[in-house]
Each structure stands twice: as C-alpha cells, then as structure tokens.
C-alpha cells in the first residue's frame, strides 16, 4: 500500500469511527424488551466500512467508536467491551465473506451470516462476560438483572433464559434492521469510500 493510499485509508477509518461514535448516542428502548437493552444503529457505519474497505477497517472503526465512547461511559467500560466484541463479529463476518464474493448474492449471504454471528457472539459474550462483569462493576447481581427482565418477558427465570429470550431476539432484530438499512445505503456511499480502488481496478457488483 502506497503512502498516500495508507493516509487515505486511515483518514476514512478515522472519519467513520467518529461518525459511528456520534451515531451511538442515538438509542432507544423497545417496549417488548428489558429497558437496559437499547437499540442503536452505530454498527451501521463500521458495517459499511467493512464492506467497502475490508474487515480490518470494520474492526478498527468498531475499536475507535468504543474507545471514544469510554470517555462518556455509564457502564464502567462493560458495555463498550460487549459492543466492541459483538459489533466486530458482526461487521468482520460481513466484510470477510463479501471480500471473497463481491456480487449481489454474495452481499446477501454476507449480511445473513453477519446477523447470525451477532446472535451467537452476543449470546456467548453476555452469558460469560457482560452479565458477570455488571455484577462486579455496577453491583448488579444476576438475579436483579433476571428480575428486571422477567417483568417484561415472563419466560425469563435465570441467566440462560435471559440470553435465549432477551439478548438473542434483540440481536436478531437489531441485525435485521441494520441489514435492511445497509442494502440501499451502501449503494450511495460505497463509491466515495472505494474511489481509489475503482479508478485503476475492476469494478465490483453493488449490494
């Protein structure tokens, strides 16, 4: 990679990282999920970056977004850690698959697999990392989190059902929403992000 290309690449990553950080503040709770699960669309930015610039770019954008959010965290860094791991699994999966099959069908497969990666990684991260760390950092016991959740979803009665009936459906919904927004938006913004790639190389099919 030439020096000018490197500079342009990292400038794009930095710009997208800051944009993702700002979008992270736009969040809202959904009435049919526990109140601590808030929907934000900040993963949309690194997802587009991963598809356009490659999975490493998506990972770096996720990292920058969460590092910036640490400055205003209300979760002692636990939320940012979970957001980074799950978000990275989501955007990198899409970027890796699309990088090897840059067609419309390849994009659909990439996005579908990325939603699955979000669900699986979210389940594992929340079960083994996030919920236990919340107990340590914020003093919230697993029982209290389960209790808050069961008031909204009666089927929840322990940590496993919390993951199955709250986190997994939430991440499924979030992944679908992000995918539906990405499909039309990517067509508009990807030429700007890939401008240098399109000048001298072969064009790829648009999502």
Whole-angstrom distance, CA of residue 97 vs CA of residue 134: 33
In this predicted structure, the answer to whether residue 153 has a pLDDT above a threshold of 50 is: yes
At residue 59, the 3 state secondary structure works out as helix
Output the pTM of the full model.
0.91
Q: pLDDT for 81-116, tens place per residue?
A: 999 999 999 999 999 999 999 999 999 999 999 999
Q: Is 204 inside a domain boundary? A: no
Position 18 scores a pLDDT of 98
Q: Is 160 inside a domain boundary? A: yes
Q: Is 116 inside a domain boundary? A: yes
Here the tokens at position 137 are: 């950092």
Q: Is 161 inside a domain boundary? A: yes
In this predicted structure, the answer to whether residue 172 has a pLDDT above a threshold of 50 is: yes
Q: Is 200 inside a domain boundary? A: no
Q: Please tell me the total count of domains within the chain.
A: 1
**DSSP code per residue over 77-122:** THHHHHHHHHHHHHHHHHHHHHHH--SHHHHHHHHHHHHHHHHHHH
Q: Is 32 inside a domain boundary? A: no
Whole-angstrom distance, CA of residue 130 vs CA of residue 79: 7
* Sign of the CA dihedral running 41, 43, 47, 53: positive
Q: Is 71 inside a domain boundary? A: yes
The CATH number of the domain where 66 resides is what? 1.10.1760.20
**Do residues 135 and 142 touch, judged by C-beta distance below 8 A?**
yes
Q: Is 137 inside a domain boundary? A: yes
Residue with tokens 């390849």: 106
What is the residue range of 142's domain? 3-26+42-191
Which phi and psi (to 5°) does residue 194 adopt? Answer: -105, 20
Position 179 scores a pLDDT of 97
């Amino acid at each position: 990679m030439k020096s000018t290309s490197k500079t342009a690449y990292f400038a794009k990553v930095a710009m997208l990282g800051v944009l993702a950080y700002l979008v992270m503040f736009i969040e809202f709770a959904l009435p049919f999920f526990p109140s601590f699960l808030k929907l934000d669309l900040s993963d949309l930015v690194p997802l587009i970056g991963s598809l356009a610039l490659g999975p490493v770019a998506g990972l770096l954008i996720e990292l920058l977004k969460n590092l910036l959010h640490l400055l205003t965290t209300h979760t002692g860094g636990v939320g940012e850690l979970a957001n980074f791991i799950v978000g990275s699994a989501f955007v990198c999966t899409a970027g890796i698959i699309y990088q090897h099959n840059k067609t419309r069908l390849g994009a659909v497969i990439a996005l579908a697999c990325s939603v699955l990666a979000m669900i699986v990684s979210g389940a594992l991260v929340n079960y083994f990392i996030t919920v236990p760390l919340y107990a340590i950092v914020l003093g919230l016991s697993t029982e209290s989190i389960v209790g808050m959740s069961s008031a909204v979803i009666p089927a929840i009665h322990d940590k496993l059902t919390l993951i199955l009936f709250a986190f997994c459906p939430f991440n499924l919904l979030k992944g679908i929403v992000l995918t539906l927004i990405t499909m039309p938006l990517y067509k508009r913004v990807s030429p700007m992000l890939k401008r240098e790639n399109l000048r001298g190389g072969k064009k790829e099919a648009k999502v």
